[in-house]
Structure 1
Amino acid sequence: MFSLPKNATIIEVGPRDGLQNEGRIVTTDFKLQFIEGLQKSGIQEMELTSFVSPKWVPQMADAKDIMASAEKQGRQFVLAPNEKGIQAALESGARAIAVFVGVSNSFNKKNINKTTAESMKALEPLVAKLKEDGIFVRACISTAFYCPFEGAVDPEATLALCRQFVEWGVDELSVADTIGMAAPNESYALFKKITEAFPDTLITAHFHDTRKMALANIYAALHAGVTRFDSSAGGLGGCPFAPGATGNVATEDVVNMLHRMGIDTGIDLDQLCDAVQKIEHHISTPVQTGMYSLYKNRA
């Protein structure tokens, strides 16, 4: 019989993945207030920013300033897609780097103008150097279930890409339902394969809530042995290179569900909603997630 874990870890991706697709530019000061509020809630792992071309993702143009000013708490990731981005991240003091590759060739070409195989060839020496230097490496696996251009993705292709990263010695695999099409049975099946194949690697599930199945998919992933989940405060997010991809699953809704099931996250829900309130005034769309709506009505 399945028994629930006593603890789960939330990796907050709001400051990076949540804001990257926001049409209104959020100032550095307000981003820092958001990050501080999230830290006060008890979040210990967070994606702060990304070192990407501001031409393509203008919201992340202040990455160096964010790294210089954000209070250091727990494990702080930055996303870096290539050698130039990785070098800039390291020069800014990053000690945990996230790299990303799409299982689907079409998505990868749209995202970084390389096939999946070309991306992996370019990343292999970079990951090797990062591990030599003692840097924590998180590999983000996009379109692990479905691709907006190709449809269903073969689970074996996802597993093969994960295996390559594990063989390189990465510390964590973040496996993403990028366009929010996965169903709970698919979540369970894929994460069961991954957790059994790579028991010594941190496995994180990353769900978007496009079709309102993210919480169900998280519950299914729990059954498969996953205890780490990416989420975005306020349900902020979406992928600029994946048509139709709406926000990430909301951190406050994930925390509420886990706490109701007796799974501790170390996160204070009221403080978390307070952080969402801080950023809501500076984004283009009102936050309408379940727990945040209750919080606002109560306040």
Structure 2
Amino acid sequence: MDRIEITEVGLRDGLQNEKTFFPTADKIDIGNRLVAAGLHRLEATSFVSPKAVPQLADAEAVIGGIKPVDGLVLEALVPNERGAKRAMAANVKVWVAFASATESHSLANSNASIETALERIKPLGELAKSAGAELYGSVAVAFDCPFEGQVGTAQVLRLAEAYHAMGIRVLKLGDTIGSASPRRVKELVSSLQAELPDMQLILHFHDTRGMGLANVMSGLEAGANRFESALGGLGGCPFAPGALGNISTEDLVHLLHLEGLSTGIDLPALIGVGKLLESRLGRPLPARLLRSEPVGTLYDLNASARASG
């Protein structure tokens, strides 16, 4: 394994928690700059109700504004048939359906039980196929729920099997509140690989407690090669108390490159986009690489402070 695929989720999962509307033109500009830096998979927006997530009410405009280049894949969350019709009209080629691993979070996140959420998803497979799109599944609170506590492997496997029965073969595992640990990551990934070997896994970690990159390393050791992250470490879930930002794309790419793994991403260019996003939001973002230089950066001795005496 020497090539890692990163999906940039800053435009969707990153911005959805922002209370002030981030201008559509800025979303498009950031998206195009990310593509120029080598990101070729963006979860660009969501076709949820604008009333539920006003920040993403401009979904069609954002999708239409990001310039197509060879190999670029734009993804969007598609919660139901109404969202599917919008995704079809916008010509989105990867739809992401979502369900929660616990009943409480399902009620908070989608105002429905798990069973009802899955029933809403069932028609999406045929609709995606008719639109020439691929349907992915995602599991929110795959490790812990802010309302019910630790989530068992069996709960996640239940959802994974339900998705599999619908013909879905790509599954995103969301560490929604940033509570996963390396041991649990390895256990969950290994269990899913054993039970559903033809299901591709994408790991989505939040860095609430500073364990995000450690969890990435554990995922790599378990054989995962697809991860999600957000520019600047932006993000959080408005329907999960205590959820803070995603692992930052800058820090993730930096780690992977140090480990000798390829991403196809230009790290200095990516850091530049992160600094631009930071300036447009008007506040510092959590990414470490926005505060420090990449490992290997050298400094001029003559310009450095020296001890006296």
Band the TM-score falls in, shorter-chain normalisation: over 0.9
Work out which of the residue numbers 221, 232, 238 in structure 2 matches 1:223: 221
Alignment of 1:41-56 (within 5 A): 41-56=37-52
What corresponds to 1:265 in structure 2? 263
Residue pair 1:180, 1:245 contacting (<8 A) in 2 also = yes
Q: Give the drift of 1:127.
A: 2.2
Query: Any gaps of 5 or more consecutive residues in structure 1?
Result: none
What corresponds to 1:81 in structure 2? 79
| TM-score, normalised with respect to structure 2 | 0.91
Determine whether 1:286 maps to 2:280: no
Residue pair 2:176, 2:237 contacting (<8 A) in 1 also = yes
What corresponds to 2:177 in structure 1? 179
Equivalent position SS for 2:16: coil
Residue pair 1:206, 1:230 contacting (<8 A) in 2 also = yes
Work out which of the residue numbers 7, 32, 35 in structure 2 matches 1:11: 7
Q: Give the drift of 1:34.
A: 0.6
Identity %: 37
User: Hey, what's the Cα distance between the residues in 2 that align with 1:256 and 1:269?
Assistant: 7
| TM-score, normalised with respect to structure 1 | 0.94
Residue pair 1:138, 1:172 contacting (<8 A) in 2 also = yes
What corresponds to 1:253 in structure 2? 251
Q: Give the drift of 1:112.
A: 1.1
Work out which of the residue numbers 216, 221, 236 in structure 2 matches 1:238: 236
User: Hey, what's the Cα distance between the residues in 2 that align with 1:215 and 1:196?
Assistant: 24
What corresponds to 2:146 in structure 1? 148
Residue pair 1:101, 1:116 contacting (<8 A) in 2 also = yes
Large movers: runs of 4+ above 3 Å? 131-134
What corresponds to 2:59 in structure 1? 63
What corresponds to 1:120 in structure 2? 118
Which stretch shifts more, 163-172 or 173-182? 163-172
User: Hey, what's the Cα distance between the residues in 1 that align with 2:99 and 2:226?
Assistant: 20
Equivalent position SS for 1:248: coil
Q: Deviations over 1:195-224 (max 9, x none)?
A: 232232221000000010010111111111
User: Hey, what's the Cα distance between the residues in 2 that align with 1:199 and 1:259?
Assistant: 28
Bigger radius of gyration: 2
User: Hey, what's the Cα distance between the residues in 2 that align with 1:69 and 1:171?
Assistant: 29
Equivalent position SS for 2:280: coil
User: Hey, what's the Cα distance between the residues in 2 that align with 1:11 and 1:171?
Assistant: 17
Residue pair 1:97, 1:137 contacting (<8 A) in 2 also = yes
User: Hey, what's the Cα distance between the residues in 2 that align with 1:151 and 1:292?
Assistant: 33
Residue pair 1:22, 1:284 contacting (<8 A) in 2 also = no
Residue pair 2:81, 2:123 contacting (<8 A) in 1 also = no
Q: Give the drift of 1:282.
A: 2.4
Q: How many residues align?
A: 293
Work out which of the residue numbers 269, 272, 276 in structure 2 matches 1:274: 272
User: Hey, what's the Cα distance between the residues in 2 that align with 1:147 and 1:202?
Assistant: 23
What corresponds to 2:29 in structure 1? 33
Q: Give the drift of 1:164.
A: 1.2
Q: Give the drift of 1:79.
A: 0.9
Q: Deviations over 1:101-151 (max 9, x none)?
A: 001110010111101111112211222332354311111110111000000
In angstroms, what is the RMSD of aligned CA positions?
A: 1.5
